[in-house]
Amino acid sequence: MRPYFFATMVLVMVGASYALGGRDVVDAAGQASAAPSGKPYRFEKLAEGVYFATGTGVMTTMSNALVIVNADHTMLVDTSVTPAAARALVAQVKDELTPKPIKYVFNSHYHFDHAHGNQIFGDDVEIVGHEYIRRMHLTNVLQQRTNRSFTGNLPGQIAQMKQRIAETTDAKERAGLEAGLGVTEAHWKAVQEVVPKPPNVTFTDTMVIHKGGREVQLHFLGRGHTGGDTMVFLPAERIVFTGDFFEGRPGGGVLSYLGDAFIDEWPASLERLKALDFDVIVPGHGTPLRERKQIDDFQSYLRDFWRQASELRAQGLTAQQATERMDLSKYAAQYGARAGRADARAVLRAYELLQIQMPM
CA triple 121-1-218, angle to 5 deg: 40
Distances, alpha carbon 39 to alpha carbons 57, 61, 192, 357, in Å? 9, 12, 22, 48
pLDDT digits (tens, 9 = 90+) for 19-65: 444 333 333 333 333 344 589 999 999 999 999 999 999 999 999 99
Helices (H), the chain: 6-15, 29-32, 83-96, 112-115, 131-137, 145-151, 154-167, 171-191, 266-274, 293-314, 319-325, 332-335, 344-357
pLDDT digits (tens, 9 = 90+) for 240-251: 999 999 999 999
pLDDT at 360: 83
Output 6 or 39, whichever has higher pLDDT: 39
Output 125 or 34, whichever has higher pLDDT: 125
Kindly report the pTM of this predicted structure.
Answer: 0.90
The phi, psi pair for 248, rounded to 5°, reads 180, -175
pLDDT at 37: 54
Distance CA 286, CA 23 (A): 12
Q: How many residues does the chain have?
A: 360
The phi, psi pair for 34, rounded to 5°, reads -85, -10
Cβ within 8 Å of residue 83, ≥6 positions away? 116, 117, 119, 120, 190, 193, 194
